Amino acid sequence: MSFLAWIGLGLIAGFIGSKIVNRRGEGILLDILLGVVGAFAGGWLFHLFGARGVSGLNLYSLLVAVIGSVVFLVLYHALFRRRRAW
């Protein structure tokens, strides 16, 4: 896949994943970054379990990227949880 396709897939996957995890998003740049990393993580996880990973710009790859993005965002929030001042 081209670099722009990864950015596009990462943007969409990061946006959907951030809406699933915390309903408000992390900001456009962090959504893209976490989405691209999530796409790589999703492809790696699917490959690890014997399924096909991210194969192009299609619906299946978007599903893999969103799942990877959700997993990565859950880990991100577990490690970097913002403390609320009460």
pLDDT > 60? residue 85: no
pLDDT > 50? residue 86: no
Whether 84 is covered by a domain: the verdict is no
Question: Predicted confidence band at 12 (pLDDT cuts at 50, 70, 90)?
Answer: confident
Domain that residue 67 falls in: 3-79
What's 29's DSSP letter? H
Whether 55 is covered by a domain: the verdict is yes
Whether 85 is covered by a domain: the verdict is no
Which of 61, 71, 64, 78 is CA-nearest to residue 20?
71
Q: Token pair for residue 1?
A: 């896949």
How many percent of the chain have pLDDT more than 70? 77
Total domains, the chain: 1
Q: Assess contact for 62 and 9: CB atoms under 8 A.
A: yes
Please give the residue that has the higher pLDDT: either 1 or 17: 17
Whether 86 is covered by a domain: the verdict is no
